[in-house]
Amino acid sequence: MPRTKKQNADIKELSIEKIRDAGLKLFATKGLAATSIVDISELAGISTGLMYHYYKSKEDLYAELVKSAVTSANAAVLEVAEMPLSPMEKTTLLAKNMLESIEKYEMTAYFFVLMPQVFLNKLIPKKVKPFLKEVLLPKEIVKKIIIAGQQTGEIVKGNPDALSVFFFSSFTGLCTYKLMMGKQFILPSVEMVTAMLLNKSYK
Amino acid sequence: MPRTKKQNADIKELSIEKIRDAGLKLFATKGLAATSIVDISELAGISTGLMYHYYKSKEDLYAELVKSAVTSANAAVLEVAEMPLSPMEKTTLLAKNMLESIEKYEMTAYFFVLMPQVFLNKLIPKKVKPFLKEVLLPKEIVKKIIIAGQQTGEIVKGNPDALSVFFFSSFTGLCTYKLMMGKQFILPSVEMVTAMLLNKSYK
Amino acid sequence: MPRTKKQNADIKELSIEKIRDAGLKLFATKGLAATSIVDISELAGISTGLMYHYYKSKEDLYAELVKSAVTSANAAVLEVAEMPLSPMEKTTLLAKNMLESIEKYEMTAYFFVLMPQVFLNKLIPKKVKPFLKEVLLPKEIVKKIIIAGQQTGEIVKGNPDALSVFFFSSFTGLCTYKLMMGKQFILPSVEMVTAMLLNKSYK
Amino acid sequence: MPRTKKQNADIKELSIEKIRDAGLKLFATKGLAATSIVDISELAGISTGLMYHYYKSKEDLYAELVKSAVTSANAAVLEVAEMPLSPMEKTTLLAKNMLESIEKYEMTAYFFVLMPQVFLNKLIPKKVKPFLKEVLLPKEIVKKIIIAGQQTGEIVKGNPDALSVFFFSSFTGLCTYKLMMGKQFILPSVEMVTAMLLNKSYK
DNA sequence: AATGAATGAGTGTTCATTCAT
DNA sequence: TATGAATGAACACTCATTCAT
Closest CA to C31 of A133, B132, D32: D32
| C-beta separation of A114 from A20 below 8 A | no
Q: Are residues C37 and C52 in the same domain?
A: yes
Examine the fold and report which residue of B38, B56, B74 is the final residue of a domain before the chain moves on: B56
| pLDDT reported for residue B2 | 63
Q: Is the pLDDT of residue D7 over 60?
A: yes
What distance in Å separates the CA atoms of residue D71 and residue B11, rounded to the nearest whole number? Answer: 47
Check residue C35 and give its pLDDT: 93
Percent of chain B with pLDDT over 70: 95
Same domain, yes or no, for D154 and D82? yes
Instruction: Provide the CA A57 to C1' F17 distance, Å, integer.
Output: 8
For residues D99-108, average pLDDT? 89
Please tell me whether residues D167 and D77 are part of one structural domain: yes
Do residues A105 and A38 both lie within one domain? no
Residues of A in contact with B159 (CB under 8 A): 186, 188-189
What pLDDT was estimated at residue C22? Answer: 95
DSSP-assigned letters across all residues of A109-128: HHHHHHHHHHHH-TT--GGG
Q: Check whether residue B188 and residue B103 sit in a common domain.
A: yes
What is the pLDDT confidence band of residue D1, given thresholds at 50, 70 and 90? Answer: very low
Point out the domain boundary residue: B56, B72, B91.
B56
- Residue A141's pLDDT band (cuts 50, 70, 90): very high
Instruction: Give me the pLDDT at residue D123, please.
Output: 53
Predicted pLDDT of residue A1: 46
Residue A175 near residue A108 (C-beta atoms within 8 A): yes
Q: Do B172 and A168 touch (CB under 8 A)?
A: no
Put simply, whether D42 touches C (Cβ < 8 Å) is no
**With 90 as the cut, is the pLDDT of residue D17 above it?**
yes
Average pLDDT over every residue of D143-171: 96
A179-198 tens-digit pLDDT? 888 899 999 999 999 999 99
Q: Are residues B144 and B194 in the same domain?
A: yes
Q: Of D37, D56, D75, which one is at a domain's C-terminal end?
A: D56
Residue B41's domain spans which residues?
1-56
Task: Quote the CA–CA distance of D193 and D95 in Å, as a whole number.
Answer: 7
Q: Which nucleotides of E are covered by protein (CB under 7 A)?
A: 1-21
Same domain for A34 and A1: yes
Is the pLDDT at C122 greater than 70? The verdict is no
Q: What share of chain D has pLDDT > 90, as a percent? A: 59
Three-state DSSP at D155 gives strand
Inter-chain touch C166–D196, beta carbons under 8 Å: no
pLDDT for residue C1: 55
Q: pLDDT tens digit string along B134-151?
A: 888 999 999 999 999 999
Q: Indicate if C34 and C109 belong to the same structural domain.
A: no
* DSSP type of residue C188: P
Please provide the size of chain B in residues: 203
What is the CATH classification number for the domain harbouring D167? 1.10.357.10
| Domain identity same for A134 and A182 | yes
Number of domains chain C contains: 2
With a cut of 90, say whether residue B128 has pLDDT above it.
no
CA angle, A176 then A180 then A183, to 5°: 115
Task: Read off the pTM.
Answer: 0.86
Q: What is the pLDDT of residue B31?
A: 86
> What pLDDT does residue C49 have?
94
A26-58: pLDDT as tens digits: 988 888 888 999 999 999 999 999 999 999 999
Residue C12: give its domain's CATH number: 1.10.10.60
Cα separation, A51 vs A49, whole angstroms: 5
Answer yes or no: are the C-beta atoms of C124 and C118 closer than 8 Å. yes
Identify the helix (H) or strand (E) that includes residue B28.
Answer: helix B5-30
Domain identity same for D25 and D109: no
| Residue A178 to residue A113: CA distance in whole angstroms | 10
Three-state DSSP class for residue C103: helix
pLDDT confidence band for B56 (50 / 70 / 90): very high
Q: DSSP secondary structure string, C137-184? A: HHHHHHHHHHHHHHHHTSB--S-HHHHHHHHHHHHHHHHHHHHHHGGG
Lowest-confidence pick of A199-203, C88-92, C163-167: A199-203
Residue B124 has pLDDT above 70, yes or no: no
Mean predicted confidence (pLDDT) in C90-117: 92
Across chain B, mean pLDDT equals 90
Q: How confident is the model at residue D134 (pLDDT cuts 50, 70, 90)?
A: confident
| Judgement on whether residues D126 and D187 belong to the same structural domain of the protein | yes
Between CA B6 and C1' E17 the distance (Å) reads 25
Q: Three-state SS for B155?
A: strand
**Co-location of C52 and C66 in the same domain:** no
Report pLDDT for D79. Answer: 95
> Across the interface, do C120 and D180 touch by the CB < 8 Å criterion?
yes
